[in-house]
Amino acid sequence: MQSANVVVITDTERDSPALEVAPIARRVLHEEVAGRLREWITEGLLAPGERLNERVLCARLAVSRTPLREAFKVLAAQNLVVLHPHRGASVAAPSPQDVRHLFELMAALEGLSGELAALRHDAAELREIRALHFEMLAAHARHDLPGYYRLNRAIHAAINACARNPMLTQTYDSVNLRIQNLRFRSNFNRAKWDAAVVEHQHMLEALERRDAPAMRALLEAHLRAKLEAVLEGVAASADQASNDVPSTAGAVR
């Protein structure tokens, strides 16, 4: 006998449309806010180390503080934002050593992804990657870096999907999120951007040949070149910052 305080839902009632629950708007909203902030961090509109001003961001995004703070928590879990107790949040700023370690790991993940993709992709997937590649070339020709980078990112994600390894994809996505801004900035040098486009052409050709060792080597080299460009950019920014600071030599008596 069921207790009078226990509500029993029958199989018929469980399948009833009356029990269907609509998505919670607030959850959708904070995910949309997190996506927009992630995009701004990637494209450098929110710089590493920058304090995230809640009042300004609420105005720009036309949202209240609640979904904004929930979005901060999402990005903090992805290591893109640092939460400061009672002091708000700021964009994560990895050290040069962290950057090197992240790119070394990403190179290994990209290499494995490419090797497996060369062996496992099908004709439809190859056509999609080829179409994305030609769209990316058009964005490069227009000097449209944000458009180029979105297509570039889609190509790498498509290659990873061809690997058909969900454990690899999970780790790949987690690490890749942390270096999106750095990968974007690596194209600020036009010569290196042009070289990256050529490397992508070689990747497409290796995929078409199903040349797994070549795909691994190409993607690992691609990430090493990205790391080199990033570290050069970090060093140049540091030099510029030091030149902008007035000298205080001899000021202390």
Residue 239 resides in a domain: no
Number of domains, the chain: 2
Question: Could you read off the pLDDT of 199-244 as tens digits, one per residue?
Answer: 999 999 999 999 999 999 999 999 999 999 898 877 666 566 556 5
pLDDT at 20: 52
pLDDT at 232: 86
Domain termination site, one of 38, 58, 91: 91
Residue 244 resides in a domain: no
Domain termination site, one of 91, 117, 144: 91
Residue 3 resides in a domain: no
For the whole model, what pTM was predicted?
Answer: 0.78
Rounded-to-integer distance, Cα 70 and Cα 23, Å: 17
Q: What percent of the chain has pLDDT above 70?
A: 82
CA distances in angstroms from 60 to 56, 67, 70, 92, 249, listed in the order given: 6, 13, 16, 21, 42
The answer, yes or no, to whether residue 7 has pLDDT greater than 70, is no
pLDDT at 86: 85
- Same domain (yes/no): 138, 43: no
Does residue 52 contact residue 88 with C-beta atoms inside 8 Å?
Answer: yes
Burial class of residue 94, CB neighbours in 10 A (0-12, 13-18, 19+): middle
The answer, yes or no, to whether residue 74 has pLDDT greater than 80, is yes
The answer, yes or no, to whether residue 3 has pLDDT greater than 50, is no
Q: Residue 54 sits in which domain range?
A: 11-91
> For residue 137, what is the domain's CATH number?
1.20.120.530
